[in-house]
Each structure stands twice: as C-alpha cells, then as structure tokens.
Structure 1
C-alpha cells in the first residue's frame, strides 16, 4: 500500500460558511450542519452535527486518534464506547484482550496512515475517535462485527452536509445525503459555502 501523506503532527482547518439568507430557513426546519471524516473508504459516524451554527463555522483537527470497542452498529443511534478508549498513532497496534480491555498502543510511530487493533475478545464492532476542536469525538464504527485483526486508515477527506436533527456521534450509512466532499491533498485549509437563493442553497468550494 502506498504511503499515506497524512502525518500525526499535521493540523487541518475546515471553514463552513452559511449564507445569511439561509440561516433562518435552515434552523426553522431543524437542519443541523454535519461533518463526517472518511475511514476505510466510508463515512459511518457524524463527527459533528451542530444546531448552533452561525454564518462562519470553523473546525480544526490534528491526526490524534483513539480506538475502542462497541457492541453493535445501529444506524441512527449514538456511538457509546463499550470498552475503554486508548490513544493510538499511525504504525501502532492496540490489543483488545479476552476480558474486553483495550491495551495501550505499542510499536513505533510512522507515517503509514494506518493503525491496527488485534481483537482477542470475540465478535465486536471497533471504533475510532479523533480530536475535533480539541475534543475526542467518534469518526468511525465498523458497520459489522470484527474478529481477529483490523486495520484502520483514516484519510483527510471530509463530507459536509445539512440534515434534519442529525446529532454529533450519530451512526450513519455512508452519508448519502447531498453535500460536498473535500480532499485535503497538498493543503491544510478548505473553505466551503452554502449559498444562493433563500431556501435553494447550494454547496460551493471557495
């Protein structure tokens, strides 16, 4: 597998602008501003689902991760780790032992863009947290139970969209709502806007 350009010390920023003429309509209809991050080629958790968004909304993150176990994956439910959560970095491995304890991550840190969980507990879903604006929040839960060894490859690709009553940490099925996807290739800042006629906004990258 080719090396991932993401580095653990990289810092990224996403700025989402909502047209002033859109705010009233969106909030009156119960739309939340949603962001998800791609892991293993899929979006499975709402990283942020804000109902208190303003004209300008800034999201900052570093490549800081945790792993955990969760008993099941259920679309529409909130992620709730059923094991302890441990910090992990690219190149490292954590083991979920037979008692259900996630052990400290071990091994040299590298820039491979991949980390690993060895599951000795049995069939369980595995999840990943990442810091967003300074707080660890779920970005991924495996949609199916995992046994044995699982590798995780977060990439700096995010999706931004608007969806009614969609909260932070909600499990989803690949974020199929209309929105805009952004890939951070060669840069660490992206700005998008939802603008246009009132009630008929469209996503654009700026």
Structure 2
C-alpha cells in the first residue's frame, strides 16, 4: 500500500459453487460462475453446472441459487476495479434447496502483508474497522499511527475518530480495542486538520529572463524540502507562481515562516539568476495577506 489508496467496485455479481471452504487458502471455484441480478435465481444442476440466472430483476437486494447438485459451498463474486473477485463463500456446504444471498454494502478495512485477494479468512482480524456504504457512493478513511509503534494506530472516517476493533470471523462479531492517550491526541489533531481550512503561502517571482523562470521551476521542484504538503511551481513567461502548504500544523503561523524560509533558501541557492520582484501572499480562511519585495 502507499500513502493514498483508492478502491472502487460495482454492484455487479456472480454466483458459483466450491467443493470446500479451506481457511488461509484462496477461493477455488468448482463451477463456472454465472452473472446474476437482484430478484433472479441461478440453478446448480445435478451435473454441477451453474446455469444462467433467470427470472425478473427487482430492487430486493436478494438473489438465489437453487442447489440441485448436492453438498456444495456457495460463493459470490463482485466486480472490483473492473475485475471479478470473490467476496463471499459459505463455510459449510449446502446439501440441497434454495440458497438466498443478500450482499451487504459494508467493507472491512485492515492492513495485511501476508494474504492475497480471494483468501478465505479464518483468523481474527485485528486493528480493523467496518465502513458502512449503505446509501453512500464514496467515503474517505484515514489511518494514524505512531512511528515508534507501527500497526497500533487508529482510524478516522468522515471526520470522526473510530476506535480500531478485532473482527472475529467465526462469530461475525467485533471487539473494540483500547487506544492509548497519545493515539487519541494524534487522532484529534488529524480531525482538526481535516475539518479546518488550510493555510497556503502563494509566491510570485519575476526573473529578468524567461529562460531563467523555466530553469528555476525545474530546480525548485527538485529541491522539495521535508515537511511540506504542497510544493507547486509553474512558469508563465518571466514569472514563476508557487503554491506552498505545510505538512504539519498547516494553520499555525509558524507554518508561514517555515514555508517562506524554505522558499527563500531554494531561491537564493539558484545560481546565475537575477530577479526583479518577489511577492508572498498568505491565503487563510478565504482572506489574503500580502508581502511585497522589489529588487
């Protein structure tokens, strides 16, 4: 995983049969999957072939499998990122009859370096959260953890802190985990960061020659300092416009000084150039405050 990750899926489903549920291993379909919509029924015939789904569609949120084969675990695929992937497999086989399936718009989020897509889970999943997408099309989740204790952090969903929990696979239940005081403080800081308008330092410098402006953009982008969230430089003729935002304490007045110092350090270290005018503008809470220098 990386700092920012996006996941997308469609409300499209397939049903399939599998001879067994084997914890810790990837799901292995024993039948050809069949696409299905809510209200429809797919029949698993006596030869173990999953027939095409039939019947009218509706908005019930339920589809069915008619099992005429015998003992068989029933599974469901969903389209994730444009590809089909298993989202459910019954742990016990169904011997016969109608199996009703109701996909739930809830997602379990956790970090796992050992499992791969489609793995059948049997062990408890720690430090996880469940995100409910019922009636929603998108949500943003943030994870905060102490650098000294990775993997022991907490979650923020929709601007609210959510305590990490342990998901018990066999019982389909959650147990809340107790966070530390330092973690709660960090979660609070992250929430405040998300809910407030960031402070942005805008800089404009005019060079004597347009070619120097282009060269400065490339030079500055390669000198991005630590502690900045935004470090954008663009040139138009002999003028370079910059947008700067601090990573830490983005609304603190100290961020203004930090960003200006970082910018000037890069500007002053840019060799063999002459500039005529430098302007700083502070944008905060929809208000602007400027500082103008002419050289």
TM-score (norm 2): 0.50
Q: Does 1:192 align with 2:141?
A: yes
1:81 corresponding residue in structure 2: 29
2:255 corresponding residue in structure 1: none
| Deviation (angstroms), 1:177 | 2.5
Q: Does 1:183 align with 2:138?
A: no
| Deviation (angstroms), 1:178 | 2.6
Q: Does 1:202 align with 2:154?
A: yes
1:99 corresponding residue in structure 2: 47
CA contact (8 A) 1:163 1:177 kept: no
Any gaps of 5 or more consecutive residues in structure 2?
A: 159-295
Any gaps of 5 or more consecutive residues in structure 1?
A: 1-52
1:39 corresponding residue in structure 2: none
2:72 to 124, 127, 134: 124
1:90-142 deviation digits (Å, cap 9, x = unpaired):
00000000001000000111110000000000001010000000000000000
2:61 corresponding residue in structure 1: 113
1:116-169 deviation digits (Å, cap 9, x = unpaired):
000000001010000000000000000100122101000111110112401110
Tell me, in whole angstroms, the C-alpha distance in 2 between the residues paired with 1:185 and 1:143.
25
Moved >4 Å (runs of 4+): none
TM-score (norm 1): 0.71
- Shift in CA distance, 168/136, structure 1 to aligned 2, threshold 3 Å: same
2:10 corresponding residue in structure 1: 62
Q: Which has the higher helix share?
A: 2
Tell me, in whole angstroms, the C-alpha distance in 1 between the residues paired with 2:134 and 2:82.
23
Tell me, in whole angstroms, the C-alpha distance in 2 between the residues paired with 1:94 and 1:68.
9
- Shift in CA distance, 139/127, structure 1 to aligned 2, threshold 3 Å: same
CA contact (8 A) 1:180 1:204 kept: no
Tell me, in whole angstroms, the C-alpha distance in 2 between the residues paired with 1:186 and 1:122.
37
Tell me, in whole angstroms, the C-alpha distance in 1 between the residues paired with 2:40 and 2:138.
27
1:158-202 deviation digits (Å, cap 9, x = unpaired):
110112401110001386333011111332111111113111422
2:106 to 157, 180, 184: 157
Q: Which has the higher strand share?
A: 1
* Larger radius of gyration between Structure 1 and Structure 2: 2
